[in-house]
């Protein structure tokens, strides 16, 4: 049985299929001594020698699916290697033998809260894909004038650089008279800086952003910033069932 090379490498934890396709296009993936091409099919049971750069890929049968929750602090970036030597979300994760952690979605450097990681690239790709409409829930602190009309606009849709986006739900959760107000919002996409751009479009500024849920997985209240924990079997199965 054969599979596309980008899918095989994704399942081994070397990135999403899209990110691996980019690596292949740059000529950095080799199959049996020759540069691989996107979409090239490989025998799953006898794949031959595959290298990403100078790293030889080691195949391990029946790899157990793992998913962990990480409580990301502000100041960490969601890149595996940073030329500026900043802290990354991968620095504190547990060691994986013969595999790599893949982040299921991202958070920008100034956003904190729930991040999920898995060792299965195909699952990560499915959980991030817009067609599956996986909910992401946030606490959002906003500076600016907001009323019922603007809240309705946020639900209907506003135009940002990538097109029209809207909250699936958005509700005010602070009742004070301050111009800094807390909201709880739910989106079904994960575009770069999406929430900040949405509020900027109505002349408001997000000054604190915390992700508290991804799909049916909530950020544990007792998980400290910079800490991680594995999903138990029930939570793992419940998350996987969202994309079946």
CA distance 24 to 39: 10
- Nearest of 113, 105, 121 to residue 191 by alpha carbon: 105
* Residue 82 designated active-site: no
Burial of 109 (0-12, 13-18, 19+ CB in 10 A): middle
Q: Measure the CA dihedral 175/111/124/92, to 10°.
A: -130
Q: Could you tell me whether strands 205-214 and 112-118 are parallel, antiparallel, or unpaired per DSSP bridges?
A: parallel
Helix, strand, coil share (%) of the chain residues, nearest 5: 20, 30, 45
Cross-strand bridge partners of residue 72: 113
- Nearest of 227, 181, 228, 224 to residue 206 by alpha carbon: 181
Return the residue matching tokens 């502000």: 74
CA distance 85 to 65: 30
Q: Which of 43, 91, 108, 162 is catalytic?
A: 108
Q: Which residues are tagged catalytic?
A: 108
């Amino acid at each position: 049985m054969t599979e596309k090379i980008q899918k095989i490498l994704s399942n081994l934890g070397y990135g999403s299929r899209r990110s691996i396709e980019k690596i292949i296009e740059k000529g950095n993936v080799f199959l049996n001594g020759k540069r691989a091409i996107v979409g090239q099919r490989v025998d799953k049971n006898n794949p031959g020698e595959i290298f990403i750069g100078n790293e030889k890929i080691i195949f391990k049968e029946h790899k157990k699916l793992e998913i962990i929750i990480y409580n990301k602090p502000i100041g960490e970036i969601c890149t595996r290697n940073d030329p500026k030597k900043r802290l990354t979300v991968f620095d504190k994760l547990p060691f994986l033998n013969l595999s790599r952690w893949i982040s299921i979605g991202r958070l920008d450097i100034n956003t904190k809260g729930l991040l999920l990681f898995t060792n299965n690239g195909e699952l990560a790709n499915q959980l991030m894909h817009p067609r599956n409409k996986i909910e992401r829930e946030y606490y959002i602190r906003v500076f600016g004038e907001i009323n019922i009309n603007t809240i309705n606009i946020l639900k209907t849709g506003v135009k940002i650089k990538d097109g029209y986006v809207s909250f699936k739900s958005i509700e005010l959760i602070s009742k004070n008279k301050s111009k800094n107000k807390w909201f709880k919002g739910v989106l079904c996409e994960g575009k770069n800086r999406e929430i900040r751009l949405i509020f900027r479009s109505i002349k408001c500024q997000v000054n604190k952003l915390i992700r508290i849920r991804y799909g049916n997985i909530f950020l544990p209240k007792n998980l400290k910033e910079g800490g991680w924990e594995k999903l138990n079997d029930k939570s793992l199965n419940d998350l996987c069932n969202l994309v079946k």
